[in-house]
A and B are shown apart, each in its own frame.
Chain A
Amino acid sequence: MATDNRQVDQPASLWTQLRTMAGRGPAPYVLILAYAAIVSALLLVNPTTGLGTDMVVVLFLLLMFVIYRAPTILAFKLTLGTILLAVVMPVFGVLNPFYIDVVTKAGMFAALALGLNVVVGFAGLLDLGYVAFFAVGAYLWGIFSTPQISNIVSGMEPLHGSWFWLFLAIGLAVGAFFGVLLGLPVLRLRGDYLAIVTLGLGEVIRVLATNLDRPINITNGAQGIKDIGRPPLFIEPVFQAFGITISQVQEYRLYFYFLVLLVLALTVFVVHRLNNSRIGRAWTAIREDETAAIAMGIPLVRMKLLAFAVGASFAGTMGVIFSALQTFINPPTFDLLRSIGILSMVILGGMGSIPGTILGAVIVTLLDLQLLPRIASELAALQRRGVPIPAWFDPAQYQRLLFGLLLIIMMIFRPEGLLPEDRRRQELHHDEPEPAPVSKTVKPAAESAQSAEG
């Protein structure tokens, strides 16, 4: 291909030389294995909570993306990824509960962001009320697994935890139903108007959750629902077989970790399949030019509602998991800021891109739950030791500011996101020379360039 020649003609920078060297023969395998071994060892040898471990956890998650992008065979990627996520992380989680909670949350938000990505990234429908579907799922399980249910159906006992499994599926269906329900009134709207109306509809759900405590107490209003049921555990025998005794709390932690990982994997699978089908192409066409799309025979109403339903269904399921994980939910959890947060994950990672969205979710969650609070506590420790830091300065208070700055910087220097969808990168940088032609049906640009050089 002609574009490859252009790359060869350019004087190779040190970085490209390094990349080429690391991308040849057995080198990537050795490098990645060494990286994985070092990070795993660091995690398992010193599982204390602190700034050092924070950094190692970040390196661990970064490793996932290095594996994803590495020029190695798929089987190697899958095996190593599975070992790291299914063995190293859980063992570390047993040793130190803090981080696995963060990773679980990150996984949960990644699935939510992927759902929103279907609506915003694929179909181009800017939805600012997405958290509503998450709320619907959470309240669904919250009501049915607590005495709240007896207020609605008199005499009905709270459902036993084992119903949780079924409710994962019901949450999916109810989420999809609400997706269609809130999608119907906004079908004719585009762009800014759509954003405003979805924002309003999202708030309606939250306000309903706050006010549906009378005349019949359905949601328990602003107090929220507590003591939400959890599924019965069954993985204990596995640990006993290895002679490990763990507490129920630890076991639940692992349980939810694996559950979230499983749902996330399923979400990735579904979203990927849809994106590479006639449905995904129809969504992209609608995003690009609605009028041309209908003229080409795409049923606009059905495709838009499908996007809303698919996006909302993941949120519904994740809501069920979230309420069981937290055992407590209240309306402020599902406010506008949460919708914006999920949207910023999609934007940060790269709209329309599946790996980008996951990366965005992981980064935002880490910043929110781990890194910014950690910096705050480290500064507080310095302050106690007499370092003159003004008392009013508390980085935890500036989380939103820092986050906003990060997004602004992103929009200036990399508006397409960290790991953009190939076509969107070209869309935003179409004045620059392109690396190589792209398509869903051809190899990614990086790969073909490497094969031309190597």
Chain B
Amino acid sequence: MALLEAKHITKQFGGLTAVNDVSLTVEAGSIVSVIGPNGAGKTTFFNVLTGIYKPTKGTIIFDGKDITGLRPDQITALGICRTFQNIRLFNAMTVLENVLVGMHTRLHAGLWQILFGTPSVRAEERASLERARELLRFVNLDHQRNQLARNLPYGDQRRLEIARALASSPKLILLDEPTAGMNPQETAEATNLIRRLRDELGITVVLIEHDMRVVMTISERITVLDYGTKIAEGLPEEIRSNPRVIEAYLGKGAAAHGVERVEG
């Protein structure tokens, strides 16, 4: 069953077409990658999916509902959450508070309930603290929970972003370059974590990634964008040997001289 269906998405900024007629279907429970050279429109595509930009054309169906043009918070409430390419944590909040913010759509305490401190609010706060710590344990950050987010090492910040996204109990998580700037060991750990998101939590994963080793090992399907247009889609092996993809990454000459593999 398709969890996410983006149909003929076009996003224009004035005269610039950042995303041009891109369609993407993501099956529930799969791990899918979107790759492409810098400036190919991958992040813009993510921003359209999460409601930060409204598509110029096209529709997005998520979990059987048309979510085109909904606000980002409504889309998050329906079950899509994301991380950012250049980490965007709430720096002056603690690790634990960052995760609690991510839970916002799943908490229901209203203004008056909070002011009167009703038992339901207190129970909800206790439960959310418990859940936040559970998520922090999942990404192995529980020992850091009272640190300010800004003081975490880089790799930990990436994992905290994932924990924060998980806090909204998403069905689909969009990861924007989750291993950018990581050393090989950290990359291996991150790859493992992404796999656990699907295997242990049952969350469908779409990731933008530049590290081809990561892409080729964990993706079940790959979509390739170049200049805002989808140039290829398929299984990792197909993408690896697709001449148009090689051309997009390495130039026409490379494709002509029969370079067979795209390596990161």
Contacts and interface: CB of A to CB of B under 8 A. Distances in A.
Contact of A297 (B84, B91, B105, B109): B105
A300 B76 CA distance: 13
B164 interface: yes
A426 to B, nearest CB: 6
Given A439-B97, A440-B97, A277 B148 contact: no
Nearest to B146: A437
B115 A297 contact: no
B77 interface: yes
A440 B100 CA distance: 12
B3 interface: no
A282 B107 CA distance: 12
Contacts of B146: 437-439, 441-442
B147 A437 contact: yes
A285 interface: yes
Interface string A269-296: 0100110011101101100110111111
Given A278-B100, A279-B111, A297 B168 contact: yes
A294 B76 CA distance: 9
Interface string A286-329: 00110111111111100000100000000000000000000000
Contact of A292 (B88, B115, B117): B88
The 6 closest A-B pairs by CB, nearest first: A297-B76, A297-B105, A437-B146, A292-B88, A288-B90, A277-B114
A291 B71 CA distance: 12
A440 B105 CA distance: 21
Interface residues of B, number: 44
A426 B92 contact: yes
B57 interface: no
Contacts of B121: 277
Nearest to A424: B92
Contacts of A282: 101, 104
9 contacts: A278-B103, A279-B111, A284-B101, A285-B104, A288-B91, A297-B77, A424-B92, A430-B151, A434-B151
A299 B71 contact: yes
Q: Which of A288, A293, A298 has the most CB of B within 10 A?
A: A288
Given A282-B104, A296-B168, 6 more contacts: A278-B107, A288-B90, A292-B88, A295-B76, A296-B164, A297-B77
A274 B104 CA distance: 14
B89 A274 contact: no
A423 interface: yes
Interface string B206-227: 0000000000000000000000
Q: Which of A278, A297, A426, A440 has the most CB of B within 10 A?
A: A297
A299 B71 CA distance: 8
B115 A296 contact: no
A295 B94 contact: no
Interface residues of A, number: 35
A192 to B, nearest CB: 20
Nearest to A298: B104
Interface in A122-168: none
Contacts of A296: 76, 81, 101-102, 104, 164-165, 167-168
B118 to A, nearest CB: 11
Contacts of A288: 90-93
A432 interface: no
B61 interface: no
A285 B90 contact: yes
Given A273-B117, A274-B114, A284-B93, A299 B73 contact: yes
B129 interface: yes
A413 B84 CA distance: 35
Nearest to A427: B92
B73 A279 contact: no
A439 B133 CA distance: 14
Interface string B36-51: 0000000000000010
B115 A270 contact: yes
B195 interface: no
Nearest to B46: A295
B132 to A, nearest CB: 10
A98 to B, nearest CB: 36
B101 A294 contact: no
Given A279-B114, A423-B93, A441-B129, A300 B104 contact: no
B81 A441 contact: no
A440 B146 CA distance: 9
B261 interface: no
A58 to B, nearest CB: 33
Given A273-B115, A297-B77, A292 B90 contact: yes
A285 B104 CA distance: 11
Contacts of B115: 270, 273-274
Contacts of A300: 73
B89 A426 contact: no
B96 interface: yes
B168 A439 contact: no
Contacts of A437: 94, 146-148
B135 to A, nearest CB: 13
A7 to B, nearest CB: 16
B52 interface: yes
A277 B125 CA distance: 8
A441 B96 contact: yes
A244 B92 CA distance: 54
B120 to A, nearest CB: 12
B82 interface: yes
Q: Which of A277, A294, A300, A441 has the most CB of B within 10 A?
A: A277
A228 B72 CA distance: 49
Contacts of A294: 52, 71-73
